[in-house]
Amino acid sequence: MAKPTYTDDEMLAGIRAAAAGVDGPLTVAAYDTWRAGHGGASGIGIIRRFGKWHVACERAGLDVVVSTTKKPAFSPEAIVAAVAAYLAEPDSRGTYGGYREWAKGRDGVPSGPTLRNHFPKWDELRARALADDGTR
């Protein structure tokens, strides 16, 4: 089954609808929570389309707070190491969705969306983690 394709206008309308029920700036996580009950493009899909979450929010007409002083919490090497640790697990499915589930509730590992921000293509990240780790 093909993934649904959303227009820019549909994505922006979804952002506006989700923001209506949120106090303060709309985060990707808050949007994805809203989307679970209402449908629409994924937060990561919107980021891919517009380049940055705050750009999409601006295009949707929302007030945006952008912090430029925050440094990345995970280096590319740390992200690759976390994926290698996930892949080394005996019950690892080796998928992005499997990684997201594995990372939930674990301290010190990047979330799935953090992976996508640094490495948009799971297959490339997985291959790099396997090459760096050498276990599979």
Same domain, 80 and 127: yes
Q: Has residue 46 been placed in a domain?
A: yes
Same domain, 49 and 21: yes
Q: Has residue 66 been placed in a domain?
A: no
pLDDT at 133 (0 to 100): 53
Same domain, 51 and 88: no
Residue range of the domain that includes 86: 76-133
DSSP per-residue string spanning 43-91: HHHHHHHHSSHHHHHHHTT------SSPPPSS-HHHHHHHHHHHHHSTT
pLDDT at 58 (0 to 100): 92
pTM beyond 0.75, yes or no: no
- Domain count across the chain: 2
Q: Which residues of the chain have pLDDT under 70?
A: 1-4, 65-72, 133-136
Q: Has residue 87 been placed in a domain?
A: yes
Q: Has residue 27 been placed in a domain?
A: yes
